[in-house]
Structures are given as structure tokens and as C-alpha cells.
Amino acid sequence: MISPINREMIFDFYANKTTTLQKRLIEEWLREEANQELYYQWKLEWELQFPPYVPPLEEPLQQFIQYMEASPLSLNPAEAVVNDLPEPARGVNRWYWLVACSVLVVGLTTWLMRNQIIYKTYQTSAGEQQAIYLADGSTVTLHSRSSLRVPRWSFGRKSREVTLEGEANFSVTHTIDHLPFIVKTARQLDVVVLGTEFTLSARQNTAKVVLKKGKVQLRYLENKVPKQVVMKPGDLVTLDQRNHADVKTASEADAYDFQKSRRFVFDEMTLADVAVLLQRSYDLEITIKGTELPRRVLMGSFKANNIDELLQTLSELLDINVVREGRTVQMAEKEAN
């Protein structure tokens, strides 16, 4: 490519006699490393041709030589690497920096993101439930406002460890090599399982475990003393804030208690969306009659101790008829009287 850049134009540039378009050309031309060299060579020539004054040379030179003699080079080059380079670091140096910085950035990111990289986290918002199928065949139903952290890579190979915050139903499969399934919580309580079905709730102040089938072992710290409880099916273990365990046989109602005093938050959801949510959470079959009704929008937070209370609330709120018969629920506009 023939470049229109020549010494004259660059000299004009130094003297601020170039047009904007020429400056653009020069800028483009300067992208070439070799041209930058040439640029400075011409700059030197220009400075020599048109100096604004004549600086003294001999005196500062003698001072410099004296200085060099007075402070001989440090023999340790590592010391000298201290980069006081005031200018944009270039060449080899710059590459060192670039590599060092990238390594640092990658390292830092990995370190900061280590949880995201090592673990996969499932999270539910208020009123949401999520079914999780783990690699070993176990299933977890994560209740509202809970999170479950599962190792991304090693799960099911050497151990089966998950971390729960909040509340979930576990249905744990038994493996041929009797690999224990361990649920860790943030409150010094671990549940060790060998294939079973149970519900664990580990919120801030209390933790509860209800065992449906099989056998689980609770390991926890009470006043920093490690303790263990082995649960039988039907047992309900409640741990208070200080991790004091209370074992009792759970009734069916207690299993439902987990859902107790739940807060339902609907953020501009249509009734149809709400129905889907309830169907998933409570194993109900909900039918909404009419075309207008499913599109009505709900907003706000409702407190209900159980599904009947919630349905009641919905009925009052929307002024509709809600009829529940076992697992089927029907919603319909009130007949106009």
C-alpha cells in the first residue's frame, strides 16, 4: 500500500500545520510499530532543525557522568526491575506485564467465582418450588426461599454432598457402593443418609427433619460438642437455635407443618400462573372457568397457613367462587344475581 505520509507531512504535523484529515491519516499510519520508530526519528530531526532554544550540554552531561560514577549499578538486577518506567511500558516489559496481569485477573476471577465454578446452585424465590434431579438418581424438591448447592464435577463419584439453605424434600437413592448422601447446612447440622425419603428444613432459627422412609443420621454441634441422632421413619427432629435436638414422632400433620405460615408473594401474576404454581406445590388440579378469569392479575403478599386458607383468600380477593374437592379445585366467576 502506498502511504501518503512522508517527512514533510509529519514535519507539518509537528508544526501544527496539518488538516484534520491529514491527522487522521497520520493516526492510521502510526498504528504500525515501524512507523512509530520513523515518527520518532523524524521528531528528532525536527527538534534538531527547529529547536525553540539551545539547551546547554556539557554541564548537564558532566553532572550525569558524575552521577553514574557516584552510584554504580546495583549488582542485583531484580532490584533494578522496579519499573519506574514513566512511559507506557513497551516491548518485552509490556508483554511481561500483560501476561502477569492476565494471570492475575484469571486467578482472581477463578478465586472469586470458585463457588459458581465448583458448585451449581439452585434457588427458589418465595412461593416457588423446584424439582431437582441429581446425577445419582436422587430427587430433591426445593421449597420456597431455599437454595441447594450441588458440586458440579465430583457429585456421585467419591461422595454425595449437597448444601441446603432453607427447606427441601429429599428422595435419596441407594448406591451399590453404599455411598452416603450428606446434606450439609449452614448451622452445624449434617444429615447423613443411605437411601431414604425425608424433609429437611434448615432456616435461621430452627431446623427440622422429618423422616418418611429408611434411616438417616443427624450430625450436629451442640455447644461445639459433636453429637449424633439416628432417626427412624416417622421421627421429627427439631433443633433450636443452640442446636439442642428434640426428637418426637411426627404425625402426618407435622409433615404439613413445613408449609405452615407461608407467605405467598404474587408479583403481577395472572390467576392462570398462580394456578400452575399451586398445582406444582400442592399437587392439586385446578381448573379456571371462563376466558376472562385466568387473565386477572394478582399482586401482593398473602399469609396463609395452608392451601385452604390461601384459596379462601383468593376467593375473597377476586370475588370469585372457589370449590375444592379433594385434589380438584374449581374457580369460577360468581353468578350474577
Partner 1 sequence: MQAAFPVTPSGIPPAYTPLTGQVSTLGAVHHEPSTTVIDSELFIRKTFDEDPKKGCELLFRLYYRPLCTLAVRFVYAKDVAEDLVADVFYTLWNTRAYESITQSYRAYLFRCVQNRAYKYLASELKNMDSLEAASQQETSASDLPEPIMRYEELCHKVEELVAGLPPQCQKIFILNRFEGRTAPDIARELQLSVRTVEVQIARALTVLRHGLRTHWLLAGLCLLFL
Among 43, 187, 212, 324, binds partner 1 (CB under 8 A): 43
Interface with partner 1: number of residues (CB under 8 A): 60
Q: How far apart are CA 330 and CA 322, in angstroms?
A: 6
Residue range at the interface with partner 1 (CB under 8 A); choices 33-41, 171-179, 228-236, 238-246:
33-41
Q: Which of residues 1-30 bind partner 1 (CB under 8 A)?
A: 13-16, 23, 26-30
CA-atom Rg of the chain in angstroms: 37
Closest CB to partner 1 among 81 and 225? 81
- Closest distance to partner 1 from the beta carbon of 111 (Å): 23
Dig out the grid coordinates for 182 from the structure: 450428606
Task: Provide the residue count of the chain.
Answer: 337
Nearest approach in angstroms of CB 6 to partner 1 is 12
DSSP string, 13-51: HHTT---HHHHHHHHHHTTSHHHHHHHHHHHHHHHHHS-
Task: Give 53 or 111: the residue with its C-beta nearer to partner 1.
Answer: 53
Nearest to 220 by CA among 235, 202, 232: 202
Using the rule CB under 8 A, is 49 a contact of partner 1? yes
**Pseudo-torsion of CA 10, 13, 17, 18, nearest 10°?**
80
- Across the strands, what pairs with 237? 209, 247
Considering only 2, 19, 31, 225, the residue that binds partner 1 (CB under 8 A) is: 31
Q: Which of 11, 22, 89, 203 binds partner 1 (CB under 8 A)?
A: 89
User: In which residue are the cell numbers 552521577 written?
Assistant: 67
> What residue ranges bind partner 1 (CB under 8 A)?
13-16, 23, 26-31, 33-41, 43-44, 47-57, 60-61, 63-65, 67-69, 71, 73-74, 77, 80-94
